[in-house]
Structure 1
Amino acid sequence: MSRSEQSLERLYGSGATPDEQRRAFTDGQVPVAVYGLGKMGLPLAAVYASVSGNVTGVDISESVVGTINDGRSPVENEPGLEAEIERNVSSGALSATTDVEEAAAGASIHVLIVPTLLDDQDVPDLSTLTALIRDIGMHLDPGDIVVVESTVPPGTCAETLWPILRRTVPDPESVGLAFCPERTMSGRALQDIRGAYPKIVGGIDDESTRVAKLVYGEITTNDVHAAPDARTAECVKVFEGIYRDTNIALANELAMVAPELGVDVPEAIELANTQPFCDIHRPGIGVGGHCIPVYPYFLLDSIETSAPIVRMARQINDSMPLYAIEQLREAMDGSDHPLFGANVAVLGVTYRPDVDEIRYSPAFSVVRDLNQLGANVYLVDPVCSDLSPFEGTPVAVERLHRLDLDAAVLVTDHSAFDRIRWDRMDPMVVVDGRQALTLSGSGHTVRTIGDGRGVE
């Protein structure tokens, strides 16, 4: 059936009833394009395909597109995704392409989930998103709607993206634009998208909000909350990240005063959290990933107010790798073995346990500082597929006991580290950055971040 014959293939401004529009969407009459097929985008495209049966995924990588069209998933360690891709591709519900213009011309719902990070000056870099908006804008037809899931600074849809669309779309008043914050975590993406948390939608006008709410009401089994506008919806995701960053900073500040208190701060936090109005996170060696270290700057770039709590939280969390190195150096000085020339194993360089992602990992600071202090660094990470960004010698977990180590720093508590035979190693200094090691009675000198017992 041609596009002109499908009377309900577009939802924005449609005079059909909500039930008719929902049926059109779930029956595959409304073609969808999902732009960006990475760790978050590909699961989103798969869920859209399962619900609507008519999705084109778009990515700049020919290898990613080829893998998907072969019915396989280029994203690893995502439970259920491979089977979902195979089923949707074989049924014709999902295909992939590198041709942005062709996908844009054929779709009515355009879902954007491309990277939005920071430049070298900690300024939000929206260049990929704005370039994509320009590319698809000239191919939008009346009744199309653009839904942005990429996390952006508050005001981006109304003040940056909509002006671009107004300049490129032949009839801009006939298309919609909405924001729906992505609330997905690697390793559980399908579960999160389908209903682990409520969805939030907010459009630049009431009709954009209505259509986004209708569509996501079919995507998720959870509630869909309509924000007053796109800016409010944008704030939701940014605020979530800032809350976590600030909460972790509080926990880290408490951890740094643990030696003065002479207590195990994580234990005290756990007990404090038994009170329902208290929910302090756990301290650690640092904060990584493409979310928590990034989104505070999305707010700071959008406002003139200094926001000292937000800024201080970033400074505290960024300081934790150096704090861990200072703990190591103090302990080694106490053992009459200087850090200069010492053999030091860095355990875990990814930012999350058992997830192959190094973006903004605190391991970058740990490895850099150790090298600058003259240590011989060994990199131990069974999950990371590419250790080349780090300056050090890769070592397998199974061979760790064969090294003549003077120290070890746990940055990321991968499950594989439970197999380390600490009893087969000569006494060394160990800094546990995640309260994850059980080395009591092992003969090693252990400094655990947040445990101030016996530390002066």
Structure 2
Amino acid sequence: MPGQLYDPAHGDRPTEEQRRAFRSGEIPVAVYGLGKMGLPLASVYAETCGNVIGADIDEDVVAGINDGESHIKREPGLDELVAELVGEGAFRAVAEPSEAAREATVHVIIIPTLLTDDHVPDLSILRSVVDDVASGLSPGDLVVVESTVPPRTCSEMVYPRLQRESGLTAGEFGLAFCPERTASGRALEDIRGAYPKVVGGIDAESTRVAGLIYEEINERGTIPVSDTTTAEAVKVFEGVYRDVNIALANELARMTDELEIDVREAIEVANTQPYCDIHDPGPGVGGHCIPYYPYFLIEGLETRNRLLRTAREINDEMPAFTVRKLAEELASEGKNVADARVAVLGLTYRPGVEETRASPAIPITHRLADLGADVLTIDPMLDNTGEFAGEQVPLETLYDHDLDAVVLVTPHDEFDAIDWTAFERPLVVIDGHATLDLAGTDHRRYAIGTGRPR
């Protein structure tokens, strides 16, 4: 079949002819999901092969891309790359995933996996996209899942569903799990080769073909693993490691007052030993990755995951710990949190990124409001702060609100310009990441993991 990649009879060694066919655009690619990870991925595919159709159900996103516009903010190089690729005819978008499926030979799925209210992984979006792909699946096609999913998802759900919905049988098409290893703000750099690409196929031929493709995209090459489940576990394990490590740092940080030491200093020095790599403490863990991935292992497995559950509990408690420290510091100044006006700085889950999913600022603002505080919120990344409690105000008006306290949750660069001498009276400042320099002022500062100046 012209443009066919997957062929179990092919043998073990990739052919230069297939590489050439992919690079020349003879093998059309569809990317399903054009969000903050999907659009950069589709763009790198398009700059490599020149024949990509992107699918997204958001018609405004599709229309913007077809006009050469990127809807993803603060992603270096992406705006220019999308405009260039669309202008060259290398990349276009559609709002009907089934349309993309009919045209493509390589199908790349990159959509978010969320959790239900009970912390169960919600695969409903993935199932829907798999059905769309199956509607256009042909013999010799390759399906690649980049979305982070619970281990065994490809083998137990995606592969059987593709067979059932397409009418094809095992061995007529390929399936590989190739997890995205990408951070917002550096997506193009990461996709092009900041790290090797992990590839794991449902069979040896799927692994071979996925490796062939990603070796053309990623200058660092690929790391083949035994199967799809191993590849799925690699991505989940990366996130779980960070969650557990941060939980350790947060547990240690809560000892700083009792030990009467700067725990951050102790961590920094401990990390000079090559076998120690403790992360930084903070007011909580947010984003669409780290708070979610432990539940991909906790739910659905019979193995008791006590460590993962405990780590989640510790990290989920940090917003309450942050508010409790604020209340204690205010009480030391003879003030009640219920009567305080508090500015919360930084609402996104990490600096310089617009994402607010699972941000610790959400429970912090709501907890403060529940205690009766007058909450003001400030974040230069956000236009809409409806999910947070309190009144959004511009950063430049910070000095005008007769504040009692400030809580720094996310240290955006813009906060470095705050003039802490400009406030009319001393404030209580809770510094979530120990990044503020209040030297020479009368403000009462408590930094998580550091405590008060000693």
Give the TM interval when normalised to the shorter protein: over 0.9
With normalisation by structure 1, the TM-score equals: 0.97
Match of 1:30 in 2: 27
Tell me if structure 2 keeps the 8 A contact 1:356–1:385. Answer: no
Tell me if structure 2 keeps the 8 A contact 1:138–1:170. Answer: no
SS in 2 for 1:237: helix
Match of 1:167 in 2: 164
Indicate yes or no: 2:163 matched with 1:156.
Answer: no
Tell me if structure 2 keeps the 8 A contact 1:434–1:449. Answer: yes
Indicate yes or no: 2:262 matched with 1:264.
Answer: yes
The CA deviation at 1:14 is 7.0
Match of 2:251 among 240, 243, 253: 253
The CA deviation at 1:126 is 0.7
- State how far apart, in whole Å, the 2-side matches of 1:177 and 1:289 are: 28
- State how far apart, in whole Å, the 1-side matches of 2:39 and 2:167 are: 30
The CA deviation at 1:311 is 0.7
Give the share of equivalent positions with the same residue, in percent: 54
The CA deviation at 1:104 is 0.2
Match of 1:440 in 2: 439
- State how far apart, in whole Å, the 2-side matches of 1:437 and 1:294 are: 29
Match of 1:135 among 132, 142, 147: 132
Match of 1:323 in 2: 321
Q: What's the C-alpha RMSD, in Å, of the aligned pairs?
A: 1.3
SS in 2 for 1:135: helix
> Which residue type is aligned with residue 96 of structure 1?
A
Cα deviations across residues 145-186 of structure 1 (Å, max 9, x unaligned)? 110000000000000111111211222220111100110000
Match of 1:420 in 2: 418
- State how far apart, in whole Å, the 2-side matches of 1:13 and 1:105 are: 22
Tell me if structure 2 keeps the 8 A contact 1:38–1:75. Answer: yes
The CA deviation at 1:40 is 0.1
- State how far apart, in whole Å, the 1-side matches of 2:181 and 2:275 are: 24
Match of 1:66 in 2: 63
Tell me if structure 2 keeps the 8 A contact 1:348–1:381. Answer: yes
Match of 2:344 in 1: 346
Indicate yes or no: 2:219 matched with 1:221.
Answer: yes
Match of 2:78 among 64, 78, 81: 81
Indicate yes or no: 2:187 matched with 1:189.
Answer: yes
With normalisation by structure 2, the TM-score equals: 0.97
User: Given the superposition, is the C-alpha separation of residues 293 and 282 from structure 1 closer, same or farther in structure 2, using an over 3 Å criterion?
Assistant: same
Tell me if structure 1 keeps the 8 A contact 2:6–2:173. Answer: no
Cα deviations across residues 340-359 of structure 1 (Å, max 9, x unaligned)? 02100000110010111100
- State how far apart, in whole Å, the 2-side matches of 1:445 and 1:453 are: 8
Cα deviations across residues 422-443 of structure 1 (Å, max 9, x unaligned)? 1111101110001110112310
Tell me if structure 1 keeps the 8 A contact 2:55–2:96. Answer: yes
- State how far apart, in whole Å, the 1-side matches of 2:253 and 2:277 are: 16
Match of 2:3 among 4, 8, 12: 8
Give the length in aligned residue pairs: 450
Indicate yes or no: 2:87 matched with 1:90.
Answer: yes
Match of 2:389 in 1: 391
Gaps of 5+ in 2: none
SS in 2 for 1:277: coil
Tell me if structure 2 keeps the 8 A contact 1:427–1:445. Answer: yes
Tell me if structure 2 keeps the 8 A contact 1:11–1:21. Answer: no
Match of 2:309 in 1: 311
- State how far apart, in whole Å, the 2-side matches of 1:76 and 1:453 are: 37
> Which residue type is aligned with residue 364 of structure 2?
V
- State how far apart, in whole Å, the 2-side matches of 1:302 and 1:175 are: 28
User: Given the superposition, is the C-alpha separation of residues 239 and 112 from structure 1 closer, same or farther in structure 2, using an over 3 Å criterion?
Assistant: same
- State how far apart, in whole Å, the 2-side matches of 1:453 and 1:58 are: 52
Cα deviations across residues 278-316 of structure 1 (Å, max 9, x unaligned)? 111000001000000000000111311221111111010
Gaps of 5+ in 1: none
Match of 2:277 in 1: 279
SS in 2 for 1:382: coil
Tell me if structure 1 keeps the 8 A contact 2:5–2:209. Answer: no
> Which residue type is aligned with residue 247 of structure 2?
A
Cα deviations across residues 228-273 of structure 1 (Å, max 9, x unaligned)? 0000000001000000000000100110001111111111111111
> Which residue type is aligned with residue 87 of structure 1?
E
SS in 1 for 2:252: helix
The CA deviation at 1:8 is 3.0
Tell me if structure 1 keeps the 8 A contact 2:214–2:221. Answer: no
Tell me if structure 2 keeps the 8 A contact 1:260–1:452. Answer: no
Match of 1:178 in 2: 176
Cα deviations across residues 378-420 of structure 1 (Å, max 9, x unaligned)? 0011111311111211111111011100111000001111111
Indicate yes or no: 2:51 matched with 1:49.
Answer: no
Indicate yes or no: 2:399 matched with 1:401.
Answer: yes
- State how far apart, in whole Å, the 2-side matches of 1:34 and 1:380 are: 36
- State how far apart, in whole Å, the 1-side matches of 2:262 and 2:175 are: 50
SS in 1 for 2:406: strand
- State how far apart, in whole Å, the 2-side matches of 1:120 and 1:166 are: 31
